[in-house]
Amino acid sequence: MTFGHPANSGFAVDINPAGAVQRNGRDHSDTVVISYPGIDLNYAQLDDQAARLARALTDGGVAQGDRVAYVGLNSPAFLITMLASFRIGAIFVPVNFRLAGPELFVVLGRSGAVALIGEEGHRELVDAIREGSAIKRFLLVDDDPAVRPTGATPGWERWSEVLAASEPTAQIAPALFDDPAILMFTSGTTGLPKGVVLTYGNIWWNSVNVDSRIDTRRGDVTYAAAPLFHVGALNSFVIRTIVRGGTVVVRRSFDPQQCLHDLLEYRVNSLFAVPAMLAALSRVRGAFDADLSDLRSIVVAGAPVPPSLIRAYAEHGIWLQQAWGLTETAPFATHLPVEYTLEKIGSAGIPMPYTDVRVVDTSSNQHVGPNTTGEIVVRGPNVTPGYWENPEATAAAFDEDGWFHSGDIGYIDADGYLYIVDRLKDMVISGGENVYPAEVERVLANMPGITDVAVVGAPDEKWGESVVAVLSVDTGTSVTLDDVRDFASAELARYKLPQQVRIVDRVPRNASGKLEKLVIRRLLDGDTGA
């Protein structure tokens, strides 16, 4: 006996988030989906705005598979542009708003974007590099209360006028699992950025993974203050929330005092953050006295999480959930279940339900046993199919069995929990010994008086490389090399202890919270120190 129906043969599921927003606009039209200073949009309004922009883009020649770039901070326009791109089957390119002119030129050139939506604060930068680009249409956001055009804008169309003149189209391009949705460029902390292709399937499977592991619910309120051009901020909760009928509180950037106010005012349920954000929030007066019982799910990723920070929140009944992943894994490959926050403190967790994670020897590529350090590799439907128009980089990142090589070093303990040690490229070899900077950074992050830390290697005639700790400290605090070595010696072998210390006003990090090791190394160039 067989089951099924012939009509289901070859059935394809449309997983376009724009379609979900359209349905929510029909079924829950009055529900506020975006809350932003001076702008609240319900689902019907968001769907209408995305439909109008989609019509304007197609009337201007943007077709399925074309790239549409957005340059600006977190805003409703960012999400409207993304959804409009999805509606016509174009590929959305969220651009790092902190890029300098030459970096922006490279990203826009590599993406081949044919349309760009931008904010006033980035207009002059775009104008300086627009010649020779493939971009044919420039739209300037002019209805955002936080950033309005300041004068004449030759070569730019006004966003509000374009949307008002366009009739909304109800048509939405079907999105299948292998269709590209987002082109997201890596942060470039180790070199030139690569364009990571994320398909609708990658986004969808990440949602399934997160829904299976993290306590989120239909109608939840999520908080979006981390930069949305980063996959963690965009794909952890934001896309899932607008698909499921919830509310996104959008902030242009993170301010710890404002964040505490918003968490209470909007009774926020979920939040993605990098460790530096949560460290700043913990220092706000009254933060741990506030009633944050609505905040069920705080996922922290993007950089190593100091155990002291986890304990500080746990002492007040707030449980930080660590996760690990990359842009290429859309983003989460592992997650530490909330009930193991303290029992497995420092762990990045266990593999997501529909993702395989293992550790392999860096030389032989063979799977290694428990508690053995090696490179972390990932395989699953949430993993990118490859890099945009870069077959060489794609071939280098995947082995013959389809495992993506992350470039991160770690180990899996006997219980199956992953621990991140460091980036493979950041490893320091001092006197023939391997020193993983992230291990030293985790120890020094707990030292009183230190507000941030980075560890890098510097050329050394005797040892090959020496371990250098770059620190920012509390005002009025004095920290010496001897202080640092004495503190760290309780947990680290002698060869791992810093041999130099540099005090800086701010340890360079990118918008994703990752240490900018290239910038930090440049700070040391020509500075031999003591």
Instruction: CATH number of the domain at 238, please.
Output: 3.40.50.12780
Q: Is residue 131 part of a domain?
A: yes
3-state SS assignment for residue 300 = strand
Report the 10 Å Cβ neighbour count for 405.
18
Residues 206 and 227 in one domain: yes
Segment 412-422 shows an average pLDDT of 95
Q: What is the length of the chain?
A: 530
pLDDT number for residue 460: 82
Residues 212 and 163 in one domain: no
Whether 473 and 479 have beta carbons less than 8 Å apart is answered as: yes
Question: How distant is the alpha carbon of residue 311 from its chain centre?
Answer: 24
The 3 state secondary structure assigned to 461-528 is CCCEEEEEEEEEECCCCCCCHHHHHHHHCCCCCHHHCCCEEEECCCCCECCCCCECHHHHHHHHCCCC
- Among 175, 208, 232, the domain-final residue is 175
Residues 84 and 38 in one domain: yes
Q: Is residue 529 part of a domain?
A: no
Q: Is residue 111 part of a domain?
A: yes
Q: Is residue 339 part of a domain?
A: yes
Report how far residue 173's alpha carbon sits from residue 46's, in angstroms, rounded to the nearest whole number: 17
Q: Which two tokens mark 161? A: 């006028």
Q: Is residue 4 part of a domain?
A: no
Name which of 90-94, 147-151, 245-249, 296-300 the model is least confident about. 147-151
Domain count, the chain: 3
Residues 364 and 455 in one domain: no
Whether 370 and 376 have beta carbons less than 8 Å apart is answered as: no
Report how far residue 358's alpha carbon sits from residue 378's, in angstroms, rounded to the nearest whole number: 7
- Domain enclosing residue 142, as ranges: 17-175
Residues 169 and 220 in one domain: no
pLDDT at 528 over 60: no
Name which of 61-70, 89-98, 430-439 the model is least confident about. 430-439
Report how far residue 83's alpha carbon sits from residue 163's, in angstroms, rounded to the nearest whole number: 14
3-state SS assignment for residue 403 = coil
Q: Which two tokens mark 524? A: 């040391």
Q: Is residue 530 part of a domain?
A: no
Report how far residue 171's alpha carbon sits from residue 51's, in angstroms, rounded to the nearest whole number: 8
pLDDT at 10 over 70: no
- Nearest Cα to Cα of residue 249 among 98, 15, 79: 79
pLDDT number for residue 380: 98
pLDDT at 364 over 80: yes
Task: Output the domain CATH number for residue 484.
Answer: 3.30.300.30
Q: Is residue 11 part of a domain?
A: no
pLDDT number for residue 304: 77
CA distance to 55, 357, 482, per residue, from 61 (Å): 10, 42, 64
The mean pLDDT of the chain is 92
CA distance to 6, 94, 243, 277, 452, per residue, from 509 (Å): 56, 19, 31, 12, 10
3-state SS assignment for residue 104 = helix
pLDDT number for residue 187: 58
* φ, ψ dihedrals at 162, nearest 5°: -65, -45
How sure is the predictor about 84, in pLDDT bands with cuts at 50, 70 and 90? very high
Q: Give residue-wise pLDDT tens across range 377-393.
A: 999 999 999 999 999 99
3-state SS assignment for residue 110 = helix
In this structure, the strands spanning 350-351 and 332-335 are antiparallel
For 221, how many CA atoms within 13 A lie in the half-sphere containing its CB?
17
pLDDT number for residue 529: 42
Which residue type, as a one-letter code, is found at position 529? G
Report the 10 Å Cβ neighbour count for 4.
7
- Among 113, 143, 175, the domain-final residue is 175
Residues 455 and 321 in one domain: no
Q: Give residue-wise pLDDT tens across range 181-200.
A: 999 998 544 456 799 999 99
Residues 132 and 76 in one domain: yes
pLDDT number for residue 1: 41
Q: Is residue 182 part of a domain?
A: no
Task: Output the domain CATH number for residue 89.
Answer: 3.40.50.980
Residues 416 and 431 in one domain: no
Q: Residue 331: is the preceding peptide bond cis (ω within 30°)?
A: yes
How sure is the predictor about 524, in pLDDT bands with cuts at 50, 70 and 90? confident
Segment 430-445 shows an average pLDDT of 84
The single-letter DSSP state of residue 426 is: G
